[in-house]
Amino acid sequence: MPDPQADARQAALELYERRAGRYDLELAAFGALRQEAVQALRLQPGETVLDLGCGTGLSLPALRAGVGARGLVLGVEQSPAMLAQAQARVKAGHWRNVRLQGCAVAQARLPRQADAALFFFTHDIQQQEAALARVCGHLRPGARVVAVGLSWAPPWLAISNLFVLGAALYSIRAPGYLTSLGQPWRLLAARLASHRVEKRWLDSIYLLQGQA
């Protein structure tokens, strides 16, 4: 029997294998938003932070700076091509406390309770109950969670919704994603003790801050 979720994961894997070489350039415009997301985690020295769908590792330097040399950054990325770039970034920085896993988030080996978790433009992951259960099951009570991604703007902001549509068609493979873009944080928020959502980029991008 066809498995839409499995098909979507395979499609996403193939997509990001193709995008890996140009991914950093494509995401360059979101540098300030990435920094805001990391700052919203309120990381402290010695903490453990998860970077789910870490891609080429663009968030790793800021996350490592937040937890310091005594902390741990654990990145998970299923695309081998993207992971290779993240590994090169770690090697170049000589970051002994940054560990990467090449697998789907639902299969990640999370060795300890984490203090914080980042989902940065990971719509497909956030629509997978198994992935969210895996992550949230390894967050300590009160752990901070930040998620950033595309979401529909109000109908009168047509230019914003055109941007969301174009970006979604290019980068999202989750089943029913055009509908889930209404509240793409819904499944994650349901697993948190508290959360709030703010909008950025003319309401085309959301920023969720929550606690486990």
Q: What is the 3-state secondary structure (H, E, C) of the chain?
A: CCCHHHHHHHHHHHHHHHHHHHHHHHCHHHHHHHHHHHHHCCCCCCCEEEEECCCCCCCHHHHHHHHCCCCEEEEECCCHHHHHHHHHHHHHHCCCCEEEECCCHHHCCCCCCEEEEEEECCHHHHCCHHHHHHHHCCEEEEEEEEEEEECCCCCCCHHHHHHHHHHHHHHCCCCCHHHHCCCCCHHHHCCCCEEEEEEECCCCEEEEEEEC
**Is the pTM of the predicted complex or chain greater than 0.85?**
yes
- Domains of the chain from N-terminus onward: 4-211 (3.40.50.150)
Structure tokens at 41: 């985690």
Q: Are 64 and 57 in contact (CB under 8 A)?
A: no
Please report the pLDDT score of residue 174 as a whole number. 81
In sequence order, what are the beta bridge partners of 29? Answer: none
Please report the pLDDT score of residue 150 as a whole number. 98
pLDDT, tens only, 127-148: 999 999 999 999 999 999 999 9
**178 — pLDDT class (breaks 50, 70, 90):** confident
What average pLDDT does this structure show over 159-174? 94
Check pLDDT > 80 for residue 1: no
Nearest-angstrom CA–CA distance, 27 and 31: 7
pLDDT, tens only, 17-47: 999 999 999 999 999 999 999 999 999 999 9
Which residues are CB-neighbours of 186 under 8 A, at least 6 positions away? 180
pLDDT, tens only, 59-74: 999 999 999 999 999 9
Nearest-angstrom CA–CA distance, 93 and 124: 29
Q: What is the largest CA-CA distance in the chain?
A: 49
